Amino acid sequence: MWNLLTLDGFFEGSKSWELDFHKYVWGEELEQFSIDQLRSADMLLFGRVTYDGMARYWRSAKGEVADYMNSLPKVVFSRTLERADWANTKLVKDGLVAEIQELKRQGQGNIFVFGSAVLSNGLVEHGLFDEYRLAVVPVLLGRGKPLFGPNSGRLGLKLLEARPWSNGCVILRYEPVKAP
């Protein structure tokens, strides 16, 4: 998982794609971090809402991040989407758990989920994340969409890294811990 979230736990504001809080941390450090992550990726996974927004934005964007976003293989999980027409995208309508397990077996590099709170909560529920990477943005929104839903359940995590940046952002990396 890779996500930016506010200090009060929101990954977007009250409205869909209300991401203006990203401006507090976007800059050289986050851009380089994004590029490094994308270089390590075999694939990107999205739910339908995130897929729609990402495809709309990245298709016409320019730069190194855009090049990776457009060229990497992608999978969108949706029961309602009729077709996936962003470059290198596969549409999966059913069998989330089996599909993710197979993708993990096939790959050598990282598979990242960006945004996609509904999809992410399903992956959390089934223990399919190997690592949680979060950029904590130093802002309180007061309201918005939480990254982790109420059905996520309890999950112990082990801190792998906490990296503060000059803009106040903190990158946190965690791995799940098996319950005793």
Per-residue three-class SS string for 54-89? HHHHHCCCCCHHHHHHHHCCEEEECCCCCCCCCCCE
β 132-137/110-113 pair status: unpaired
For residue 151, pLDDT over 70 is answered with no
Nearest to residue 74, comparing CAs of 114, 46, 32, 106?
A: 46
Q: At what angle do helices 64-71 and 28-39 cross, to 10 degrees?
A: 30
- What's the mean pLDDT in 62-77? 96
**pLDDT for residue 107:** 81
In sequence order, the 6+-apart residues with CB closer than 8 A to the CB of 147 are 3, 5, 9, 10, 11, 117, 120, 134
Which tokens in the block code for residue 11? 């990954």
For the ranges 7-21, 70-84, 113-127, 133-147, the lowest mean pLDDT is seen at 113-127
| CA torsion, ordered 65, 23, 109, 174, to nearest 10 deg | 170
- What's the mean pLDDT in 55-82? 96
The CATH number that domain 2-177 falls under is 3.40.430.10
β 156-164/170-177 pair status: antiparallel
In sequence order, the 6+-apart residues with CB closer than 8 A to the CB of 136 are 5, 6, 7, 169, 170, 171, 172
For residue 77, pLDDT over 80 is answered with yes
**pLDDT for residue 180:** 66
For residue 93, pLDDT over 70 is answered with yes
For the ranges 18-22, 29-33, 84-88, 105-109, the lowest mean pLDDT is seen at 105-109
Which tokens in the block code for residue 14? 């009250």
For residue 149, pLDDT over 90 is answered with no
